[in-house]
Structure 1
Amino acid sequence: MVCVPIALIVVVVLIDVLAPPHIHLGPLLVAAPAITASFAGPRLTGLVAALAVAAQALIAVLRDRDELFSANHQAQIAALVLVGASLVVFCVVRERHARELSQVRYVSETAQRVVLRPLPHRIGPLRVASLYLAAEAEAQIGGDLYAVARTGHGTRLIVGDVRGKGMTAVGDAALLLGAFRGAAHRQADLVELVTYLDGSVCWDLAEPGETDRSGETFITATVLDIPDDDDRVDMIDCGHPPPILVRGGRARVINAYQAAPPLGLGDLARPRYHVDSFGFEAGDLLLLYTDGITEARDSAGAFYPLAERIDGWTEDDPAAFLHRLRRDLLDHVGGHMGDDAAMIAIGRAPASRP
């Protein structure tokens, strides 16, 4: 790439020296360091800027020896020095910002991996695949969360989204995930589990030293109970986007009959949790996700129509399904997500024959 600005300097010098006296191409030399700054660092940009200044002085010597120190040549050389110095400063600031952003992204990704432990590919009779897509617009991480826990009779799973971004959201997500992992196998039924989770979030907001965030911080979540020996799923939806069941290539949105308020608002809403049940047979695929997917927009501002897009898909392998969904989603948004998004695909393996 550096050959382009150097070649530009050589061409400008040759043409300017050989051109008629009334034609002056010296001002075009400023393009050489400008081009270099677009792909190189401060040292190379400074070197090319120095070459441009030397080239302008050479033009003055070869064309106008008697007026080497004329006001015109002095102004052009001064302009090149000023522009070159400005570009070097710009490159220094850009590299410093890039290092800071890289460090912030590294810390963010590390924190996200600590909070969101990878899900196993096989949990009892279930095949599971998970995917987390981080927003690329900023280095802030969101509060998208998911976790699974085995019980004596099946698998319990939670997917949720903390209101807000940054380390505060990650802390709230870590709190909820810790409460879920500690209580999922001990609570007798789904209602007791969700009541406990809501209380854990409310208690955290009321801890001494915490700012009053009651009513401002909450976590939307869907909690599922999937028995090993029963072709059904029990679900409590706490203000979260509904799951989608894919059966025989047909997608069906599983809307809750009576959705509960998000976790953390229990002290305000006094909810009565309702358990919804739906069939989940061998060969079905269950998709759980956060609103970063359904709120993803294309260049025209249209939301990603998740249920419509996956209707007709016949992949029964969760990993292959998520791979196709990821590719289709990124095509819709042009390759850049505006918000973090998490998705989980679950398939029930056929019952083993005796």
Structure 2
Amino acid sequence: MRRLTGGSRTRWLSRVRRDPVLVSPALLAPLIAILEVLMPPEKPVYRLLPAVPALAAVLWPVVPTLLLGVACLLGVAVYAVASADHSALFTVGAIAAVTVAAAYASHLRLQREDTITEVRTVADATQKVLLRPIPRRVGPLEIGSLYLTATPHARIGGDFYALADTPDAIRLIIGDVRGKGLPALAAASAVLGSFREAAYEATDLTQIADCLETTLCRDDAAALAQGDPAELFATAVLAEIPRHATHATILSCGHPPPLLGRHGDVHVLDTDDPSAPLDLGGLLTPTFHPRRFAFTTGDQLLLYTDGVTEARAADGTFFPLTTWARGQLDKPPRQVLKSLHDALLEHSGDNLGDDIAAVAVRRL
């Protein structure tokens, strides 16, 4: 069975300071002893002592659980001898049996906690590889990013974003793979890998989109759908912001249109002829239509996935992103995304229905 090592002991004591409930097994035993003294003899409260190691198994490591159980056992044994109450020996046996079972249960619980910790560590490492942190400052841009998963305790999902700091321009992508789970994660990884390579070689956003389309059309990528290849596709927005110019370009592949904040106003950067999602089952011939727009000092671009606009309140109403953005996009990017995070949780009642990614970019 696992023992409480020095490092584990330090962590456990730190947990006790944060959560005083952890000391409840140690308080329960003297409480039962006090009640035994106060209650009349015909009501043997000491028979509740087997509950003490059982409670300890839920909260404590193995060795403290064993020690507490042994302490309860010895206490009842001494009482049985001193009072000549032979019926108390049955309670001694019960405490012994429960203590052994409790120690084993504590061992299994700690094993599961270690496994969960390892899984979370791997998930965190995977997220850092897949969603590499975006610097707060890149060239003439101040940038912030936000990622929320709809599944409780999940670290990663099918939404993705990335930035490429090329010599002539800063290029970004944000997108959403259809579906959830490992197939969506694998497809998102394929798209991001293709973007990070193409962003430094392609001459424009159309070439980058062609590379992403090719990546998702490959047979091995289609297999990630775990079924009909027509079900594997992704929506995405590509953005290109030159270092020494007062304009920017976006290319949307079936993705919600970005918002542009300028002097308190909010503009929706949609197009009359939007491009189809990437690899729409190979059913459509891809045609990409970049849009160029002015992007000057103080302007802020908000890129997001559909989890933002599809967040629902209890009455079914969607999150009013454009209305919310008025008066928000004049703030620094990190503050904008913090406000967006709070607004989404408040609107949805902490019940997000989909993964969410957002990137805010302001030209300095």
Could you tell me the TM-score, scaled by structure 2's length? Answer: 0.78
Structure 2 residue 192 is the aligned partner of structure 1 residue 177: yes
In 1, Cα distance between the equivalents of 2:68 and 2:143? 55
Provide the secondary structure at the position in 2 that maps to 1:215.
helix
- Residues 75, 264 of structure 1: CA spacing in aligned structure 2 closer, same or farther, 3 A cutoff? farther
The answer on whether the counterparts of 1:159 and 1:222 sit within 8 Å (CA) in structure 2 is yes
**Residue 130 of structure 1 corresponds to which residue in structure 2?**
145
**Residue 41 of structure 1 corresponds to which residue in structure 2?**
61
Provide the secondary structure at the position in 2 that maps to 1:268.
coil
The answer on whether the counterparts of 2:262 and 2:330 sit within 8 Å (CA) in structure 1 is no
Paired residue for 1:214, among 219, 229, 250? 229
The answer on whether the counterparts of 1:257 and 1:276 sit within 8 Å (CA) in structure 2 is no
- Residues 96, 302 of structure 1: CA spacing in aligned structure 2 closer, same or farther, 3 A cutoff? farther
1:187-230 alpha-carbon deviations (Å, 9 max, x no partner): 34433331232112112546899966511222221112334455
In 1, Cα distance between the equivalents of 2:101 and 2:349? 34
Paired residue for 2:218, among 200, 203, 207? 203
**Residue 274 of structure 2 corresponds to which residue in structure 1?**
259
Structure 2 residue 146 is the aligned partner of structure 1 residue 146: no
Provide the secondary structure at the position in 1 that maps to 2:361.
strand
**Which residue identity lines up with residue 274 of structure 1 in the other structure?**
H
Identity rate, percent = 37
Structure 1 portions without partners, runs of 5+? 350-354
Paired residue for 1:26, among 46, 50, 58? 46
**Residue 5 of structure 1 corresponds to which residue in structure 2?**
25
**Residue 352 of structure 1 corresponds to which residue in structure 2?**
none
**Which residue identity lines up with residue 113 of structure 1 in the other structure?**
K
The answer on whether the counterparts of 1:162 and 1:219 sit within 8 Å (CA) in structure 2 is yes
- Residues 18, 60 of structure 1: CA spacing in aligned structure 2 closer, same or farther, 3 A cutoff? farther
Once the 2 structures are TM-superposed, how far is the Cα of residue 55 of structure 1 from its aligned partner?
3.2
In 2, Cα distance between the equivalents of 1:77 and 1:337? 51
Structure 2 residue 263 is the aligned partner of structure 1 residue 243: no
**Residue 318 of structure 1 corresponds to which residue in structure 2?**
333
Once the 2 structures are TM-superposed, how far is the Cα of residue 11 of structure 1 from its aligned partner?
3.2
Paired residue for 1:55, among 50, 62, 75? 75
Structure 2 portions without partners, runs of 5+? 1-19
In 2, Cα distance between the equivalents of 1:344 and 1:37? 45
- Residues 108, 19 of structure 1: CA spacing in aligned structure 2 closer, same or farther, 3 A cutoff? closer
**Residue 193 of structure 1 corresponds to which residue in structure 2?**
208
The answer on whether the counterparts of 2:224 and 2:232 sit within 8 Å (CA) in structure 1 is no
Once the 2 structures are TM-superposed, how far is the Cα of residue 167 of structure 1 from its aligned partner?
5.0
Alignment of 1:281-292 (within 5 A): 281-292=296-307
The answer on whether the counterparts of 1:294 and 1:306 sit within 8 Å (CA) in structure 2 is yes
Could you tell me the TM-score, scaled by structure 1's length? Answer: 0.79
1:24-74 alpha-carbon deviations (Å, 9 max, x no partner): 2123324433443343212212222232333333443444x1x41x3xx35
In 2, Cα distance between the equivalents of 1:208 and 1:340? 23
1:77-122 alpha-carbon deviations (Å, 9 max, x no partner): 4443444344333322221111111111111211221222332333
In 2, Cα distance between the equivalents of 1:263 and 1:234? 18
Provide the secondary structure at the position in 2 that maps to 1:240.
coil
In 2, Cα distance between the equivalents of 1:285 and 1:332? 24
Q: Figure out how many residues of one structure are paired with residues of the other and give that number.
A: 344
In 1, Cα distance between the equivalents of 2:120 and 2:252? 32
**Which residue identity lines up with residue 43 of structure 1 in the other structure?**
V
The answer on whether the counterparts of 2:259 and 2:267 sit within 8 Å (CA) in structure 1 is yes
Q: Considering only aligned residues, what root-mean-square deviation do their CA atoms show, in Å?
A: 3.6
**Which residue identity lines up with residue 15 of structure 1 in the other structure?**
L
Q: Which moved more, 1:220-229 or 1:209-218?
A: 209-218
